[in-house]
Chain A
């Protein structure tokens, strides 16, 4: 902040400083190259303006060594920036194992969050400082995008799948949360604040909120209410695969393939059960498409994931 005019956005996550280092290097490179080229062009324009007495002997309109050298130099510089940007980027795919998982649901035009303890928030998100947080994103309707400029993170929430983004907040404060993907009439209103608190304050804040049940607990109730347990339960008469400890495990399909039972597979199996049939079972399960909304689907997924005995590794199996 300088004279109230924002030049540089706040840095409030562990990644922000590293991304800014690349950004400012690119700025420096652009200024340098821009100045060199402007100097060259303006210099030529003045020196060789019409009627000037500049020496014009030794004109050339091609030079292989010169052309080769600027091509190679451009390539080298481009690859350096590529490698730098890519190295920082691929970390997005690997959230730390002990990350706190927040479930987020985007809908026209609000964000709904669920803390691991079940506390529900609308357009507000409270997170502790210094602890990895992974946000699992889903959308009820159109594509939205979870964007916190101060953290330098952004991830689209796409209907029909679950996406993830993680961060470690480093500075206490309140930061803008935006929807970055155009989502209809009130797109610019769809946002709120991320509040970063010291761990003690965060714990106190959690306690002050009405508990609510965890997403997995709601999912378990739903699992019975919808009749899922009738077939998938231990004492069922219908032969259906047991869902105990299925999350993250390989599943053999009747088309000889094997898939990992990740969020994508579980989601598809609920909404479109005929798509991938577990080997050895009859395709008798009805589709729940249209019967449950995205929020309820998130509860079911949370419940199924809670049955897993695999060591928890962030959001990824």
Chain B
């Protein structure tokens, strides 16, 4: 068998900046995204660390209030739009979608490359706003603060986000068409891996919701630049209209962020349990249900905004409904472990930590969906804790699980298993130390976006800040051992985890067009009971042997 060192993999197909920057190979575009997103992740993370250091004391002693407000605004803008939304779809999804469905590339390879350029252009546009003076509206751009009162470069940042939206839409369209048109012979919808299902659901939301964000941001720019009265009450506008428009996008966007993470975990748990995913159809359909219900719950961000109480009751009801498919998934993932042959390699550790953190983030969602409780904890640290449990504890942990799981496929190399397990555990401990105290802070009444706070809140803030340091170490570690592995890691065999799935049937790393011959699918996904997989099970995947 050909191995990674030999010519003929996508990594050896031409080198130099031209070969990478003008590539239409989905695997190389995935790398372009991976590198840019990693840079944004650490940039946004550095801002979070600065904020946590500031919040270690009640007084505002490290940075001024204006600087603090710019820090959390940019932390949000960068993390949401330049990391979380594209994170798994544009990197792992880009790399794996064609491989998982037995295709030679995405349906529109050039569009895929264009989407990266649009992303870079838009995000640099927004970054320019940072360098030029910053934005202090929060990532939510609430009017009339953003249109009439905020100093800074609001229009520039909003326009940058607007541009990045087009890259999201392009990726979404590309994925939808690819899943519809390019599945290998025999790969019916109900034989698709759940990761493909979740990418498909995500893409639908991307294509349907992003234009609404684009419209709202353009309206902000119109009002700021041309003084057209849309949100300004003095000109006959309505400030709450902006919140309706913004959350009509931004709540579905939450599902853009978490669904692919659910997909990754649905791949990893069966592999390291040697069991088919429990309740495959329910998991697939619940992804679609989340995508649909996600569009109907935006008003739960506005229970105390002045929205009618009856609207509040309806949105609360629908928010409880959207909790059901998530609960179903958690039960299915847990039952997948039953009667398995469970081992605890790095991806599995991350996936189990995802399960715990996602569950505790999701349960906090029940508190927030309960109207009377939300009145108290809305706009407090309780909300911060809730969405960081979902977005960081859930999504980023799933992203790390996926990165470690498919790393051998991406690079043809293995990483240090010990380092991986340590990093996963450090991340888990650091995460809980950072964000659990914020639940307590929120219930005690500490509002979010506070540069200074009353001294009685200090105890929990200090815990949280200490946790942030541990968490930062947990996230920095992979940068080193994965970086090392990229150049010096042991060669990986084609299927180091003995996983099912078409992506594991081609070489690691794959050839430029993925498959020598297009595979024919005859079995369902996660067929871990299949004969023939067992003997590979104990092959030492860290060696160059087997294959």
Contact = CB atoms under 8 A, between A and B. Distances in A.
Report whether over half of chain B's contact residues are helix, strand or loop; otherwise say mixed. Answer: helix
B267 to A, nearest CB: 15
A74 B238 contact: no
A153 B303 CA distance: 12
Interface string A174-185: 001011111111
A188 B450 contact: yes
A22 B334 contact: no
Contacts, number: 264
A290 interface: yes
A309 to B, nearest CB: 28
Contact of B363 (A6, A34, A66, A67): A34
A187 B313 contact: no
A290 B369 contact: no
A210 interface: no
Contacts of B276: 61
A67 B380 CA distance: 36
A62 B332 CA distance: 9
Contacts of A183: 145
Given A9-B444, A37-B334, A183-B145, A19 B373 contact: yes
Interface stretch (A116-124, A155-163, A198-206, A233-241): A155-163
Nearest to A109: B65
B138 interface: yes
B323 interface: yes
Given A82-B320, A154-B376, A159 B144 contact: yes
Interface stretch (B335-343, B403-411, B515-523): B335-343
B313 A188 contact: no
A5 B440 CA distance: 11
A180 B332 CA distance: 38
Contacts of A18: 372
A71 interface: yes
A187 B459 contact: no
Contacts of A49: 342-344
A145 interface: yes
Contact of B316 (A56, A82, A271, A290): A82
Given A70-B328, A90-B313, A289-B234, A182 B459 contact: no
A261 interface: no
B355 A187 contact: no
Nearest to A82: B320
Contact of A84 (B138, B142, B370): B370
A86 B371 contact: yes
A281 interface: no
A151 to B, nearest CB: 9
B533 interface: no
B445 interface: yes
A90 B331 CA distance: 33
Contacts of A186: 65
B532 interface: no
Nearest to B68: A188
A89 B314 CA distance: 12
B66 A185 contact: yes
B339 A89 contact: no
A184 B149 CA distance: 8
B306 A156 contact: yes
Contact of A89 (B60, B343, B372): B372
Contacts of A145: 304, 379
B108 interface: no
Contact of B323 (A56, A67, A78, A272): A78
A45 B352 contact: yes
Contact of A81 (B370, B376, B453): B370
B236 interface: yes
Given A37-B359, A85-B371, A9 B321 contact: no
A242 to B, nearest CB: 26
Interface in A4-51: 4-9, 15, 18-19, 22-23, 26, 29-30, 33-34, 37-38, 40-41, 44-45, 48-51
Contacts of A26: 363, 366-367, 370, 373
Contacts of A74: 323-324, 327-328
Given A9-B443, A48-B340, A187 B352 contact: no
Interface in A73-88: 74-75, 78-79, 81-82, 84-88
Contacts of B28: none
A276 to B, nearest CB: 12
Contacts of B275: 59, 61
Given A33-B363, A61-B277, A44 B340 contact: yes
A23 B373 contact: yes
Contact of B379 (A15, A84, A154): A154
A93 interface: yes
A90 B440 CA distance: 26
A64 to B, nearest CB: 9
Contacts of B336: 61
B451 A153 contact: no
Shortest 3 CB-CB distances between A and B: which pairs?
A160-B233, A149-B445, A85-B370
21 contacts: A15-B372, A18-B372, A26-B363, A29-B366, A45-B344, A48-B273, A50-B343, A78-B320, A81-B366, A82-B369, A85-B369, A89-B372, A142-B148, A143-B305, A152-B375, A159-B239, A180-B447, A182-B69, A182-B138, A188-B449, A272-B236
Interface of A: 4-9, 15, 18-19, 22-23, 26, 29-30, 33-34, 37-38, 40-41, 44-45, 48-51, 54, 56, 58-63, 66-67, 70-71, 74-75, 78-79, 81-82, 84-90, 92-93, 108, 141-143, 145, 147, 149-150, 152-156, 158-161, 163, 176, 178-189, 271-272, 275, 289-290
Given A22-B370, A88-B372, 18 more contacts: A5-B459, A6-B459, A22-B373, A41-B334, A50-B343, A61-B278, A62-B279, A62-B281, A78-B324, A86-B313, A90-B309, A143-B239, A154-B379, A161-B306, A179-B447, A184-B136, A185-B66, A275-B236
